[in-house]
């Protein structure tokens, strides 16, 4: 799918760990601003590696070697200096398959990042906590226990708290890596509704092995297989009239 002015533009992106074969090869893909873009494909297709490369975790934490470009509003993320990377990650927030709340109170989870970014004042931080929790559809469930440990929340609540923690930093792009794996249908629905309601504020990329979720929530879908981008199109078209037979076979459950 062509996109004249994408929020994110992956250009001939190749990712490799050590001396092994590339886990993603020559990926070129545009992510439209204020949209939800789903990455689907069987395990080992490179989806998570691409997501972790967008905010540099694959390079800084996983030791990947990366070639190509990742353009955020035309600026190459891969060329960010060491000093610029913390700010960059605030623009490219990421939530993982397993929720990772801090071992602190719900309130402290949400103000930790803004305080590091220089936000001060109790009234300002209180407002940020409420607005972020409301955006993540969690405020009504936790507003009376903000001083309680975040670790006491259910898995679905912890995941929404982690996304609220990202929202509190006002990112430009939110990256979700299997955010609903292991969650109950109600928690999954709330996360999907949250993404839809916040699309006007953020650009979303969701890696999911659930093709039905991709069909429900996303505007565009990219199908990856063994490190290659097989097909990328509007979700309606990719799910109803895929060009490549491998895409059709995966969507229809013949492999994966």
Closest to 129 in 3D by CA, of 142, 111, 145, 113: 111
Q: What number is the average pLDDT over the span 139-164?
A: 97
pTM beyond 0.85? yes
Q: Which two tokens stand for residue 33?
A: 């601003």
Domain residue extents for the chain: 8-251
pLDDT given for residue 6 in this prediction:
95
CA distances from 95 to 26, 73, 80, 122, 124 (A): 25, 21, 21, 26, 24
Where are the strands (E) in the chain, listed by range?
A: 8-17, 24-31, 36-40, 64-72, 75-76, 92-95, 173-177, 203-207, 220-225, 228-234
Tens of pLDDT, residue by residue over 63-81, are 999 999 999 999 999 999 9
Helix (H, G, I), strand (E, B) or coil at 178: coil
Average pLDDT over residues 186-190: 94
For residues 1 and 232, the answer to whether their CB atoms sit within 8 Å is yes
pLDDT at 212 over 60: yes
CATH number for the region 8-251 comes to 3.40.50.300
């Amino acid at each position: 799918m062509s996109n004249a002015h994408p929020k994110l533009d992956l250009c001939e992106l190749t990712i490799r760990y050590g001396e092994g074969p590339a886990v993603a090869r020559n990926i070129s893909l545009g992510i439209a601003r204020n949209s939800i873009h789903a990455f689907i494909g069987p395990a080992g297709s490179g989806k998570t590696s691409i997501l972790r490369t967008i905010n540099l975790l694959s390079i800084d934490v996983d030791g990947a070697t990366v070639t190509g470009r990742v353009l955020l509003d035309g600026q190459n993320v891969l060329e960010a200096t060491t000093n610029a990377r913390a700010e960059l990650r605030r623009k490219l927030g990421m939530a993982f398959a397993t929720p990772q709340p801090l071992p602190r109170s719900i309130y402290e989870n949400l103000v930790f990042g803004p305080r590091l970014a220089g936000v001060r004042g109790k009234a300002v931080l209180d407002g940020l906590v409420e607005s972020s929790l409301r955006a993540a559809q969690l405020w009504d469930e936790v507003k009376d226990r903000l001083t309680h440990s975040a670790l006491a929340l259910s898995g679905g609540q912890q995941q929404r708290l982690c996304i609220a923690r990202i929202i509190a930093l006002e990112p430009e792009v939110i990256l979700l890596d299997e955010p609903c794996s292991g969650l109950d249908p109600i928690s999954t629905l709330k996360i999907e509704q949250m993404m839809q309601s916040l699309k006007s504020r953020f650009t979303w990329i969701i890696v999911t092995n659930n093709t039905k979720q991709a069909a429900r929530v996303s505007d565009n879908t990219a199908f990856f297989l063994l490190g290659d981008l097989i097909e990328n199109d509007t979700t309606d078209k990719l799910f109803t009239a895929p060009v490549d037979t491998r895409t059709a076979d995966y969507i229809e459950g013949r492999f994966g």
